[in-house]
């Protein structure tokens, strides 16, 4: 589901702010344009988006659950984030406490609506959890 963020519909929308990437890290540049419109079919159905992932989140040795995060003042309004199902990794023969399940993070580009001017959007990066992975536990 999170991978649906990268489908063509989102990429087309976010490509309009690529010129502002330099300013996005600084958080200074706003896009104020009354012609910003979002089509009704912008959000694809979950079934359509889930076809390509093959339920990898359930088949992983470090399984996770997709949690929708909603923000009224962000484009996209819903971003699915991963939440690790366990502190440890699950192998075919059971849980291995020598292996920890840890989240994987990625910075993604989003548009945030200005709090003072609803017609203005600012390109910013948001850190999201995109999956979980197995790592050897830290030892002293």
Strands 94-113 and 120-136, sheet pairing: antiparallel
What ranges do the domains of the chain cover?
Answer: 2-37+44-136
* Cα–Cα distance measured from residue 104 to residue 99, given in angstroms and rounded to the nearest whole number: 15
pLDDT per residue as tens digits for the range 93-124:
999 999 999 999 999 999 998 888 777 888 99
pLDDT per residue as tens digits for the range 46-73:
555 555 667 899 999 999 999 999 999 9
List the structure tokens of 72: 């009224």
pTM here is 0.66
Question: From 2.10.90.10, 3.40.50.2300, 3.40.50.10860, 3.40.50.170, which CATH number describes the 2-37+44-136 domain?
Answer: 2.10.90.10
């Amino acid at each position: 589901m999170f991978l649906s963020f990268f489908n063509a519909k989102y990429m087309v929308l976010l490509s309009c702010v690529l010129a502002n990437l330099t300013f996005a890290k600084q958080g200074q540049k706003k896009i104020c344009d009354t012609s910003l419109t979002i089509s009704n079919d912008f959000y694809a159905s979950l079934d359509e988006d889930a076809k390509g992932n093959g339920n990898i989140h359930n088949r992983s040795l470090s399984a996770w659950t997709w949690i929708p995060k909603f923000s009224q003042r962000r484009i996209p309004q819903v971003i699915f984030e991963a939440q690790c199902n366990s502190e440890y990794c699950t192998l075919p023969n059971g849980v291995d406490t020598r292996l920890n399940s840890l989240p994987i993070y990625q910075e993604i580009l989003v548009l945030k609506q200005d709090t003072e001017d609803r017609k203005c959007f600012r390109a910013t990066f948001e850190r999201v959890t995109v999956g979980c992975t197995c790592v050897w536990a830290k030892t002293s």
